[in-house]
Structure 1
Amino acid sequence: MWFDLTLEARDGSRHHMRYNSHTSECEGLPLPVEPGVFEPVERVSKSAPLGKSRAPRVLKIQLGLSCNYACSYCNQAVQIGDATVSKLADVAQFLTQLDGWIAQAPEQIELWGGEPFLYWAKIKRLIPALAERFPEVVFSIITNGSLLDREKLDFIEQYDIAIGISHDGPGQHLRGPDPLDDPHKRRWIETLLAERSEKTSFNAVLTREYHDLRALKAWFTEKVGPDVFVGLEGVVNVYDAATAIGTGRFEPAELNSLTRSIFEALAEDPNAFGLGERVDEFYASIQRRRPIEALGQKCGMDSPDAIAVDLRGNVMTCQNTGAKGAHKIGHVADFEAIALDTATHFAFRDECMACPVVQLCKGSCMFLEGDFFKQSCANEFAFNMGILMAAVWHLTGMVVVGVEGG
């Protein structure tokens, strides 16, 4: 699908480029083209569910959805009642079951909560056993950073665990207390940064109230230091009514402000907040002519080689869902019966197939429906349009001021 983009140069003159979001053809950007070979991905839908591979590249282990914070936009909040409650003894059973369904070592193992360090006793049993079994695997944990101590930091070092600290800087109160305001908690976060800066990051979510990336950068520079890496989990998606009428409900002017914030941050620093990788991917998609048929969902959980399980062997849509409700898609004991029947690939959504940033967005959350999806789609469009604008600006020195087509 072709789109006509109007660009404005520094002298005020107008220029045009054409871009096809389905074929990645682009007329007007100075990029050499060397078409690649792409295999089409399987497209999941409720009527055409997909299974999972016994050789997963990414293994996500949900320890439980309990948390000591209560984020106002939490994407797990409506799932807590459907989450299983496991016991410490379930770790041994999980490890025993593992031999029965996993055929080779994953590249990455992620441990998820809720707040994962509320499950410290389970982590201490689980990771050493997994590290012994899969010595080359990369471990990662996303945490709010409030429960760190010397014992945990030594464990993190021993097993070389990458740590992402969820923190929204000036918007942190939307998540809960700021651990950086507590001298004890701050001490351990600073110690972690000092000892493992290359494997530790802060990750922020952009919301209606707080999406100014200059303010975000300034906040972390002042509160933590100029060299700390701050990445973005993205823009808030809408999973419940409270978020729909609250921090996830951007007004049109606020969506424009979000786009401008992303664009300006990347115009100043092409690697700002880790978004340079997204710009580079966009360039590569054009250079290699990546077709839309080769794109899976943004989260990657529609892929057979990414699987989310709890400690009782239940398989879920993703790590943010509970296994006692609609998002249980199977069990590892009956592996061939696993069926991802809770998701919809963006190819089956009209708004995605008529979108100029689909190659960047990749469909938002794959299990959202109705108004929640529409609202999340609007937020994602504004976010990804900022990335597209920055990509064009770095190659042409011109600003995208209009998009027509679709």
Structure 2
Amino acid sequence: MWFDLTLEAPDGARHTLRYNPHTSECEGLQLPVEPSAFAPVPRVAKDKPLGKSRAPRVLKIQLGLSCNYACSYCNQAFQISDATISKLSDVESFLAQLEGWMTDAPEQIEVWGGEPFVYWAKIKRLLPALAERFPNARFSIITNGSLFDREKLDFIAKYDIGITISHDGPGQHLRGPDPLDDPEKRRWIDALLAERPGMVGFNAVITQQHHDLKELQDWFADKVGPEAFVGLEGVVNVYDAATALGTGRFEPAQLRGLTQSIFEALANDPEAFGLGDRINEFYQSIQRRRSIDGLGQKCGMDREDTIAVDLRGNVMTCQNTGAQGEHKIGHVEDFDAIALDTGTHFAFREECMSCPVVQLCKGSCMFLEGEFFKQSCANEFAFNMGIWMAAVWHLTGMVVGGVAVAVEGGGPLSS
């Protein structure tokens, strides 16, 4: 499927660039092309379930969904009642079960809540045992940053845990209290930043109320320091009615503003908010001619080698879902029966297959449906369009002024 992009040069001249997101062909961008072979990825659907690998590359361990904050747009809130409640003794059972189903060491182990440090006693038992068993694995935790103390910081350093602090800067009130406003909590966050340079960063979510990236950047520079790394978890997706009517509901003008804000931030600094990797991936997709058939979901949870489990051995759609409801897809004790049948690969969504930024978006959340997916799709389109426009600008020096479905197949760049 081909799209014609209208580009405007600084002198006002207009040019056309032609792009096919299904084949990653692009006529008009000055990039050397070295086509590569991309193996088709399995495409999950409710009637096309996928299993999981006994040699996971990424192991996501959900400790539970309890949290000491109550984010207004929490993507776990609607799942809390379906989450299992585990005991400290379940840690030993979990570790013993590993012998029965895991054949190779994971590259990455992620520890998830709710708020993971609510489960501190479990973390203290779990991670040392995993580190001894898998000495080359990388550990990471995403936290709201409100529960640090000296003991936790020493533990983080000992096991070389990458820490991401979820914080929305000027929009933090949508999450809960700001730990940076509490002198004691702030002291430990500052200590962690000083003691673990390059291993600690902040992660913000773009919402309807707060989607000005310059404001976000300025807020962290003033509050934390210009050297603080601030990444973007992305734009808010819609998982419940409250989010659909509140933080996730962008008006059309706000979506255009979001696109422009992303574009301006990246045009000024192509590495801003850690999005440089996204720009480079887009370039590489064109250079290597990445087929849409070789593209999986954004979250990676449709991969066989990425698995989310709780301490009782239940396997879930992802770490944000509970194992007592529809998102339980199996148990490690009956590993071959695990069946991911709760998601829909974007290849089965008409709006994704006719989208110019699908190579960047990768389908949003695979288990959203109906109006929740439609609204999330609009948000993701605006977010990824800003990245797409910045990528084009850095190669051409021109601004994307319009995108339209091409009437016929590819042709030479015209002006």
TM range (shorter): over 0.9
Partner of 2:281: 281
Partner of 2:411: none
Partner of 1:86: 86
Partner of 1:125: 125
Structure-1 separation of matches of 2:404 and 2:323: 43
**Deviation by residue 1:11-57 (Cα, 9 ceiling, x = unmatched):** 11110000001000000000010001110100000000000000000
**Counterpart residue identity of residue 52, structure 1:** K
Structure-2 separation of matches of 1:282 and 1:347: 19
Partner of 2:46: 46
Give the C-alpha shift of residue 197 in structure 1: 1.9
Structure-1 separation of matches of 2:210 and 2:397: 28
Partner of 1:2: 2
SS at match of 1:329: strand
Query: Is 1:302 matched up with 2:302?
Result: yes
Structure-2 separation of matches of 1:328 and 1:311: 13
Runs of 4+ displaced beyond 3 Å: none
Structure-2 separation of matches of 1:234 and 1:270: 16
Structure-2 separation of matches of 1:223 and 1:324: 41
Query: Is 1:152 matched up with 2:152?
Result: yes
Give the C-alpha shift of residue 128 in structure 1: 0.2
Partner of 2:322: 322
SS at match of 2:81: helix
**Counterpart residue identity of residue 295, structure 1:** L
Partner of 1:18: 18
**Counterpart residue identity of residue 390, structure 1:** A
**Deviation by residue 1:249-287 (Cα, 9 ceiling, x = unmatched):** 000000000000000000000100000000000000000
Query: Is 1:66 matched up with 2:58?
Result: no
Partner of 2:397: 397
SS at match of 1:318: coil
**Deviation by residue 1:107-166 (Cα, 9 ceiling, x = unmatched):** 000000000000000000000000000000000000000000000000000000000000
Query: Is 1:367 matched up with 2:367?
Result: yes
**Counterpart residue identity of residue 9, structure 1:** A
Partner of 2:185: 185
Gaps of 5+ in 1: none
SS at match of 1:197: coil
Gaps of 5+ in 2: 407-415
Is the 1:197–1:228 contact (alpha carbons within 8 Å) kept by the matching residues of 2?
no
Structure-2 separation of matches of 1:122 and 1:31: 50
Structure-2 separation of matches of 1:262 and 1:291: 26
Query: Is 1:338 matched up with 2:338?
Result: yes
Structure-1 separation of matches of 2:16 and 2:149: 56
**Deviation by residue 1:60-105 (Cα, 9 ceiling, x = unmatched):** 0000000000000000000000000000000000000010000000
SS at match of 1:198: coil
Structure-2 separation of matches of 1:11 and 1:169: 37
Query: Is 1:386 matched up with 2:386?
Result: yes
Query: Is 1:247 matched up with 2:247?
Result: yes
Give the C-alpha shift of residue 385 in structure 1: 0.2
Structure-1 separation of matches of 2:391 and 2:270: 9
SS at match of 2:329: strand
Is the 1:6–1:17 contact (alpha carbons within 8 Å) kept by the matching residues of 2?
yes
Structure-2 separation of matches of 1:93 and 1:128: 15
Under a length normalisation based on structure 2, what TM-score does the superposition of the two structures give? 0.98
SS at match of 1:15: strand
Structure-1 separation of matches of 2:50 and 2:270: 37
Structure-1 separation of matches of 2:38 and 2:20: 17
Partner of 2:111: 111
Partner of 2:412: none
Under a length normalisation based on structure 1, what TM-score does the superposition of the two structures give? 1.00
Give the C-alpha shift of residue 354 in structure 1: 0.1
Query: Is 1:212 matched up with 2:212?
Result: yes
SS at match of 1:382: helix
- Residue-pair matches, total: 406
**Counterpart residue identity of residue 196, structure 1:** R
Give the C-alpha shift of residue 328 in structure 1: 0.1
Give the C-alpha shift of residue 243 in structure 1: 0.2
Give the C-alpha shift of residue 193 in structure 1: 0.1
Partner of 1:95: 95
Structure-1 separation of matches of 2:207 and 2:332: 37
SS at match of 1:402: strand
SS at match of 1:119: helix
Structure-2 separation of matches of 1:46 and 1:303: 15
> What is the aligned-residue identity percentage?
79
**Counterpart residue identity of residue 168, structure 1:** D
**Counterpart residue identity of residue 176, structure 1:** G
Structure-1 separation of matches of 2:38 and 2:368: 28
SS at match of 2:198: helix
SS at match of 1:355: coil
